[in-house]
Amino acid sequence: MDLKGNACRDTPEHCKGGRTLRLRWLLGLLMAAVAVSVLTAAQQRRPVSYTKDIQPLMLKRCVACHGEKKAEHGLRLDSYDEIMKGDHEGPVVVPGKSAASRLYLVVAGKKEPKMPPEPLPPLTPLELELLRRWIDEGANNDAAAPSPKESAGVESALKPRQFKLQLLTVGMPSEVTVEFGPAPAVNAIAFAPDGKTLFVGGYKELLRWDLTAAQLAGRWSLEGMDGTVTAMAISKDGTRIAVAGGDPQRPASVTLLDATTGTPVQRFADPKGAVHHLLFSPDGRWLVAAGADKTVYVWDLVQRHLAVTLKEPGDWALGVTFSPDAKWLATGGADRIVRLWDVKSWRVVRKLEHPATVCQVAFQPNGNLLAVAMSGAGEGGIWIWNAETGQRLRALEDTRQPVSDVVWSGDGKLLVAALADNAVRLYDADGNLRATLQGHNAEVTTIAFHPDNVRFASASRDGTVRLWHTDGRLLAVLVQLAAGKDEWLIATPQGYFVAAGAVKLTVAQPSGATLAERWRNPEMVRRALAGEKLPPAQP
């Protein structure tokens, strides 16, 4: 794809099978292009994501001719920085103005030369709509860590935010809006095995929320961490925490911490891009990382070295999970294939194909069920497999919007999904929908179950963490009010709160009402965090 009109002379690797294979591939794409493509309601509501929507589109449709190894007309489209840099003639994207952006105009056929060049198929209506919306929304970069080339640097990760809390009260405001920040999106959370602490990934730091004391108990600075924490895992015995951060185009670091003191124990510098997921094996021997460099890394924590790299994934590696007996490791990513690896030989024993990007995989803790969360342009959902037989058992059809994460409860009776339409969905083990939980005002990024299996936490790009009960009740909202500071808030829907630092808020009717000091009640907040049902605060 050349904005001057020169066709790319090098075919992608998967197209080197000759003219017949290329024509079959082209026919398949053309058939897909004429199919009706409609944005889901979830995509219409949420902002278009560079990392989830635009970057995968560029990688699949444009980078063969506009990448690091080959840059037709001086244009690279393999990273946000390169897109915004433009080509020899200047910018190809004008944030907020798709009608003035050459990149959009040529792929939409509104400006010569039309791209991609023949005989390659044009972008589908859905792909065009995603690109147009992304540009018109400001061409934002939601990568987990800012690039050093961005003059806005920190602002791309830290920004003013707000959340709304519906109050279950009488004679008091029905809704409270809390403004906070600058703060990052929350991408990683984990409960300590004893259930007393909730760890939350922040901007170059790890937050320790003490649930029994109802407070932010500490902030551990992560030296060498580049931006926001993108992944985190805690060992089964609760002694070690693994954290990672990084940009898709930059090397990432994975750090092993002492879970009691936060002291770094070991640092792994092997990944060449962002780490999307971290996982300890059930026996604590292996630490596994899924990376944007198309690699799954497996470190031996006994021998303290990199044991193996699993390079078969053809695109970003996004999700990893061990079977309960640690016999298998399942991996999934942007190539839409889940691979089951034999841990003894590290060989693939089964491949499970999917219609969209695989964002996460999760083995049922007490069985052979494997849940797969999918996310992609116009596709999404959850598929449940029998990993032993390779049989697909069911598809949860009511989640045909992007699913960011899927997690089983420790007893395997419940399945919780994080959705891009800001919702959390709760299912039983048979796939029956038990509840749809609303409240986040941005994409829900990840889920973590409490060890008691009746509480779980959801994290979001809105910068908040919400604690829920499996009966559908919201227990509390936890938020660091400003990155790098001991300013925080825990609020309950009954109107109780506890905070450190100034809280900026507005309230709904009755007019003039405020979050009065008499509603500051640490004891009631502690009871809420423990899962108790509380009476509403009195006006």
Three-class DSSP category at 529: helix
| Res 40: pLDDT | 42
Q: Tell me which of 52-66, 79-93, 94-108 is least confident.
A: 52-66
Contact (Cβ atoms closer than 8 angstroms) between residue 257 and residue 220: yes
pLDDT at 203 over 80: yes
For residue 478, what pLDDT band results from cuts at 50, 70 and 90?
very high
Residue 9, beta-bridge partner list: none
Cα–Cα distance for residue pair 20/34, rounded to 1 Å: 21
Cα–Cα distance for residue pair 235/265, rounded to 1 Å: 14
Q: Once rounded to an integer, what is the mean pLDDT over residues 416-435?
A: 93
pLDDT at 37 over 50: no
State pLDDT tens for residues 282-298: 999 999 999 888 899 99
Q: pTM of the prediction?
A: 0.73
State pLDDT tens for residues 342-388: 999 999 999 999 988 899 999 999 888 999 999 864 556 899 999 99
The structural domains of the chain, ordered by start, are 13-142 (no CATH), 182-473 (2.130.10.10)
Q: How many CB atoms lie within 10 A of CB 401?
A: 21
> What is the DSSP pairing of strand 253-258 with strand 240-245?
antiparallel
For residue 52, the 8-state DSSP code is I
- Which residues are within 8 A (CB) of 294 and not within 5 positions of it... i.e. 6 or more apart? 311, 313, 314, 315, 316, 317, 333
Phi, psi (degrees; rounded to nearest 5) at 522: -55, -35
Question: For 172-188, b where at least 16 C-beta lie within 10 A, e where not — what string?
Answer: bbeebebebbbbbbbbb
- Whether omega for the bond prior to residue 47 falls within 30 degrees of 0, making it cis, is no
| Res 35: pLDDT | 31
Percent of the chain predicted with pLDDT > 90: 50
Name the residue with tokens 């959370």: 189
Q: Average per-residue pLDDT in the chain?
A: 82
> Closest by alpha carbon to 455, among 523, 531, 525?
531
Three-class DSSP category at 522: helix
> Closest by alpha carbon to 198, among 234, 162, 227, 231?
234
> How is residue 324 written in tokens?
């309960």
Phi, psi (degrees; rounded to nearest 5) at 503: -115, 120
Q: Tell me which of 187-201, 217-231, 237-251, 420-434 is least confident.
A: 237-251
For residue 47, what pLDDT band results from cuts at 50, 70 and 90?
confident
> Closest by alpha carbon to 202, among 174, 223, 176, 221?
221
| Res 386: pLDDT | 96
For residue 25, what pLDDT band results from cuts at 50, 70 and 90?
very low
Cα–Cα distance for residue pair 331/456, rounded to 1 Å: 24
For residue 172, what pLDDT band results from cuts at 50, 70 and 90?
low
Q: Once rounded to an integer, what is the mean pLDDT over residues 513-524?
A: 73
Question: For 512-534, b where at least 16 C-beta lie within 10 A, e where not — what string?
Answer: eeebeeebebeebbbbbbebeeb
> Closest by alpha carbon to 116, among 134, 126, 128, 99?
128
For residue 29, what pLDDT band results from cuts at 50, 70 and 90?
very low
Q: Which residue has the higher pLDDT, 44 or 430?
A: 430
Cα–Cα distance for residue pair 493/508, rounded to 1 Å: 14
180's enclosing H/E stretch is: strand 175-183
Q: Which residue has the higher pLDDT, 505 or 27?
A: 505
pLDDT at 193 over 80: yes
Cα–Cα distance for residue pair 179/160, rounded to 1 Å: 7
pLDDT at 60 over 50: yes
Q: Tell me which of 69-73, 183-187, 279-283 is least confident.
A: 69-73
State pLDDT tens for residues 100-136: 899 999 888 888 887 887 667 788 777 888 899 999 8
> Closest by alpha carbon to 454, among 440, 468, 438?
468
Q: Once rounded to an integer, what is the mean pLDDT over residues 497-512?
A: 69
For residue 266, what pLDDT band results from cuts at 50, 70 and 90?
very high
| Res 462: pLDDT | 93
| Res 246: pLDDT | 60
Cα–Cα distance for residue pair 88/86, rounded to 1 Å: 7
Contact (Cβ atoms closer than 8 angstroms) between residue 109 and residue 132: no
Q: Which residue has the higher pLDDT, 259 or 154?
A: 259
| Res 539: pLDDT | 67
pLDDT at 182 over 80: yes
Cα–Cα distance for residue pair 383/360, rounded to 1 Å: 11
Q: Tell me which of 48-52, 58-62, 114-118, 457-461 is least confident.
A: 114-118
Q: Once rounded to an integer, what is the mean pLDDT over residues 334-341?
A: 92
| Res 212: pLDDT | 98
pLDDT at 197 over 60: yes
